[in-house]
Amino acid sequence: MIQVPSLILDIEKCKRNIETMALKAQKHGLIFRPHFKTHQSLEIGRWFKDFGITKIAVSSLEMALYFSEEWNDITVAFPTNILEIERINLLARKIQLNLLVESIETVQFLSQNVDYPVGFFIKIDTGYHRTGLLPTKINTIDEILKTSMASKNLNFKGFLAHSGHTYTCNSKADVLKIHSQCVNELSILKKKYVTMFPDIKASLGDTPSCSLADNFGSIDEIRPGNFVFYDLMQAKIGANNMDQIAVAMACPIVAIHDDRNEIVIYGGGVHFSKERLESEKDGVIYGRIFERKGNVWGNIVPDAYVKSLSQEHGIVSIPGDQIKNHKVGDCLMVLPIHSCMTANLMKRYKIEGRKDILMMNSQ
């Protein structure tokens, strides 16, 4: 029985999300290298093996170490942190490790300090302006490649992008416009360098594009992560339907205030994270409520939403007479804004009728 805020996983929905993306990659002849930062779980990772997946992406070297127990081709999709050179060598000795490079300083450091073969992608900024080189920076790209070729352990793998600016889109058309620019820019780079490096790949990663696009041009690899659970943020973009969301928080009701139509739940920023969503009708929200009928996840309750979060409290706005259906000691089911951040805080998944699924750093 649920006693404290708990992250509930619907295994069937999750496996269906994996299957859908795996079949899509197959249909388009793409390497499917799922990003495991969303679920951070060896057990959930194994579900991908049923679809022939052998390569993954992660967001830190710590996570690469955790998954290296069962996976031997891992891309750390984060700019290389040269301070972790010991971990890099530990991993490079054990598995096919791929790193991201976007500066001459980093490739110089790696060329002098890696003791085993390491692959690297050059990170390209396709408009998100978070990390990566603009595709016009050919001189820097050339210098990175020149530096890497002087090292016997550095192997150029190709160009990698993450169009994270799709996360602020509000329509499929907007996502596809960004995606198409990304495909175009990576294709031009690949074409320019493929004669010199015949095996290079072009890799892209955002869940909205991977969910919505049907044209991948000369892209070789996709690295979506969030699709494994989806969430309200992706639903707002149009990347998923509500019934594809595979995780929800079960939160005990600790107080009911009918005079202001609000329910206080045990479930705050330390459980959900403080990710927020601008909702057209309700302003800033931190989650949505759905009905639960036994083991079946029912409909979204219209006009009910998490209005605010403090450290351990959540305040849920419940319209009209519906507040009378709830009492102290019940649990409310809440869909998270950003499933990656919520899972990262909760550290384990509860499933009806079986033992919990553990994550990296589970207690």
DSSP β-ladder status, 56-58 and 73-79 = parallel
- Per CB under 8 A, 274 contacts its own copies: yes
Of the two residues 155 and 344, which places its CB atom closer to its own copies in the complex? 344
Three-class DSSP category at 359 = coil
Cβ 67 to its own copies, closest distance in Å?
15
Gyration radius of the chain over CA positions: 22
Q: Is 261 in the site for its own copies (CB under 8 A)?
A: no
Which of 275, 277, 318, 349 touches its own copies by CB under 8 A?
A: 275
Instruction: Assess 79 for contact with its own copies (CB under 8 A).
Output: yes
Candidates 81, 155, 180, 322; binder of its own copies (CB under 8 A) is 81
Site for its own copies in 297-336 (CB under 8 A): 308, 310-313, 315, 327-329
Task: By CB under 8 A, tell whether 249 contacts its own copies.
Answer: no
Sign of torsion, CA 294 242 48 339? negative
Q: Is 112 exposed, middle or buried (0-12, 13-18, 19+ CB in 10 A)?
A: exposed
Cα–Cα dist 120/123, whole Å: 9
- Let me know: does 73 contact 203? Beta carbons within 8 Å: no
How many Cα atoms are found within 13 Å in the side-chain-facing hemisphere of 132? Answer: 25
Show the CA angle centred on residue 47, arms to residues 41 and 53, nearest 5°.
100
When asked if residue 345 is in the footprint of its own copies (CB under 8 A), the reply is yes
CB nearer to its own copies: give 14 or 100: 100
Tell me if 269 contacts its own copies by CB under 8 A: yes
Does residue number 62 form part of the binding site for its own copies (CB under 8 A)? yes
Q: Does 138 bind its own copies (CB under 8 A)?
A: no
66 lies in the binding site for its own copies (CB under 8 A): no
The rounded distance, in Å, linking the Cα atoms of 202 and 58 is 17
What single-letter DSSP state applies at residue 35?
Answer: B
Q: What is the binding site for its own copies (CB under 8 A)?
A: 1-4, 37, 59-60, 62, 78-84, 86, 102-103, 105-106, 109, 129-131, 164, 252, 254-256, 260, 264, 266, 269-270, 273-276, 308, 310-313, 315, 327-329, 340-341, 344-345, 361, 363
